[in-house]
């Protein structure tokens, strides 16, 4: 991909404050802002997040982890008091989306925000509430249960088609960040559910919503391992400024429930896009989003809505949709700049772009091939896929104009595999 040359910095514009330096969405945002002449500050508990080492980051500060929400919010408020209205703040994680929305009134005194409020954000990040809202606006979702007692679990065992997945109600301040636990047979459900329920949440979230501690049960669709369809984009508070891109997640790790490694551009299904517009209007949501659907032979089933920056956001930036810039202009109330960027996004024409985390793909192919977990023909297929798209592939890390984040990530992988070899083997080699 041809990289955009950095624009000259514009004096007087607020900086952006980014968190979660280890997230690819943060790195994509830093590069987007830096290339458009906007100063970037990255705050992170550690010093080795790849985004912190981007050449487009002008300032690095340390903060408490979001997993310690009281200390984190106190630190954020203190920064705002010392540097009032000098930063645009937009969430990079579920925790930050919830914390900013929860403390919107106080934070808006010190930061430029584009936040729809706690009701909208929590309704999207809490899968029980998302399920209710999705059905209310006519979207289709997987068959799902929200048990509150042993009797409810018995009913699920009788009604559900197995296998099923036990999933957390939300990922906000979740102790393990597990995506879910497959259950193969009805007789295993109660025991697996009780074990899964032991994974806890931070006390701040439990006080806010005591019901969050009860996991949900969802029928498993094997199609989720082969391809997840996503719509990602931006919507303003009027609902009229709405632009999306479509993609298929064609490879993830682990295969059954995992993080995307490879995506392909896909047409925007207008019926689904219209459903998302209805959902955003119904909940009062505005801002950046990434929404996932399981594509079955008959339907598209909504499974996740991320009201924040997300991992493959660099893919959409490369496809003419500069989401961080849209959020920035909206936070500053610059409607003219917002409309200009959106019009340019609508005029953009693609060239068959794909998204590929090449480091993760090479590790998967090499390690699983050596272990026998990946058939020879499938390994060759992915080699051919990468070769066919080499000129149009967007990588979340590798960038010839910004090399340090890649070096830092490789060092982190090597260190992590040496420190936690079993977890590394389970994810990268055994595909679990």
HSE-up of residue 99 (Cα within 13 Å, Cβ side): 26
Residue 75's pLDDT is: 98
Higher-pLDDT residue of 9 and 267 is 267
Q: Starting at the edge strand that comes first in sequence, how are the strands of the sheet with 216-219 ordered? A: 144-145, 216-219, 164-167, 181-183
Kindly report, residue by residue over 238-283, the tens digit of the pLDDT.
Answer: 999 999 999 999 998 776 566 889 999 999 999 999 999 999 999 9
Place of tokens 């009281």: 70
Res. 424 pLDDT band, cuts 50 70 90: low
User: Which of 1.10.3470, 3.30.1490, 1.10.10, 3.30.70 would CATH assign to domain 143-219?
Assistant: 3.30.1490
For residue 50, the 8-state DSSP code is G
Res. 43 pLDDT band, cuts 50 70 90: very high
Determine the distance from the C-alpha atom of residue 33 to the mean position of all C-alpha atoms in its chain, rounded to a whole number: 19
Predicted confidence (pLDDT) at residue 174 exceeds the cutoff of 60? yes
Q: In degrees rounded to 5, what are phi and psi of residue 340? A: -65, -45
- Cβ(316)–Cβ(396) under 8 Å? no
Determine the distance from the C-alpha atom of residue 302 to the mean position of all C-alpha atoms in its chain, rounded to a whole number: 15
Predicted confidence (pLDDT) at residue 371 exceeds the cutoff of 80? no
Mean pLDDT, the chain, rounded, equals: 92
Q: What angle do CA 133, 29, 261 make, to 5 degrees?
A: 70
Question: For the chain, what is the radius of gyration of the CA atoms?
Answer: 21
Residue 412's pLDDT is: 86
Place of tokens 């598209």: 300
Predicted confidence (pLDDT) at residue 115 exceeds the cutoff of 60? yes
Residue 413's pLDDT is: 86
Q: Is 126 helix (H, G, I), strand (E, B) or coil?
A: coil
Predicted confidence (pLDDT) at residue 193 exceeds the cutoff of 50? yes
Annotation: CATH topology of 15-122: Rossmann fold (3.40.50)
Cis ω on the peptide bond leading into residue 163 (within 30° of 0)? yes
Please spell the DSSP secondary structure of 372-383, one letter per residue: T-S-HHHHHHHH
Res. 421 pLDDT band, cuts 50 70 90: low
Predicted confidence (pLDDT) at residue 201 exceeds the cutoff of 80? yes
Predicted confidence (pLDDT) at residue 62 exceeds the cutoff of 70? yes
- Domain ranges (residues) in the chain: 15-122, 143-219
- Cβ(124)–Cβ(307) under 8 Å? yes
């Amino acid at each position: 991909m041809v990289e955009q040359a950095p624009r000259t910095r514009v004096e007087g514009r607020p900086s952006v404050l980014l968190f979660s330096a280890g997230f690819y969405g943060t790195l994509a945002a830093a590069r987007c802002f830096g290339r458009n002449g906007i100063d970037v500050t990255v705050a992170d508990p550690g010093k080795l997040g790849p985004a912190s080492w981007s050449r487009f980051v002008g300032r690095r500060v340390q903060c408490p982890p979001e997993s310690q929400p009281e200390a984190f919010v106190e630190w954020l408020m203190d920064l705002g008091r010392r540097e009032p209205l000098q930063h645009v703040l937009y969430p990079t994680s579920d925790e930050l989306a919830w914390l900013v929305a929860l403390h919107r009134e106080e934070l808006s005194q010190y930061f430029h925000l584009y936040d729809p409020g706690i009701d909208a954000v929590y309704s999207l990040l809490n899968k029980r509430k998302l399920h209710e809202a999705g059905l209310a606006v006519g979207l289709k979702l997987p068959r799902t249960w929200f048990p509150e007692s042993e009797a409810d679990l018995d009913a699920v065992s009788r009604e559900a088609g197995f296998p099923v997945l036990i999933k957390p109600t939300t990922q906000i301040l979740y102790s393990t960040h597990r995506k879910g636990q497959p259950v193969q047979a009805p007789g295993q459900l109660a025991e697996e559910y009780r074990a899964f329920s032991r994974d806890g949440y931070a006390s701040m979230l439990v006080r806010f919503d005591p019901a969050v501690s009860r996991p949900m049960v969802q029928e498993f669709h094997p199609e989720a391992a082969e391809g997840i369809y996503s719509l990602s984009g931006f919507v303003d508070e009027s609902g009229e400024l709405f632009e999306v891109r479509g993609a298929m997640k064609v490879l993830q790790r682990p295969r059954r429930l995992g993080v995307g490694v490879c995506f392909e551009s896909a047409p925007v299904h207008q019926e689904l896009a219209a459903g998302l517009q209805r959902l955003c209007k119904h909940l009062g949501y505005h801002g950046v989003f990434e929404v996932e659907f399981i594509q079955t032979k008959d339907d598209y089933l909504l499974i996740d809505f991320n009201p924040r920056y997300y991992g493959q956001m660099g893919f959409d930036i490369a496809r003419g949709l500069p989401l961080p810039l849209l959020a920035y202009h909206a936070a500053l109330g610059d409607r003219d700049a917002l409309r200009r960027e959106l019009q340019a996004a609508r005029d953009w024409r693609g060239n068959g772009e794909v998204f590929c985390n090449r480091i993760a793909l090479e590790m998967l192919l090499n390690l699983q091939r050596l272990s026998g977990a990946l058939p020879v023909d499938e390994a060759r297929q992915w080699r051919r896929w990468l070769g066919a798209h080499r000129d149009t592939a967007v990588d979340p890390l590798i960038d010839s104009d910004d090399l340090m984040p890649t070096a830092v990530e490789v060092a982190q992988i090597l260190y992590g595999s040496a420190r936690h070899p079993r977890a590394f083997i389970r994810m990268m080699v055994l595909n679990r």
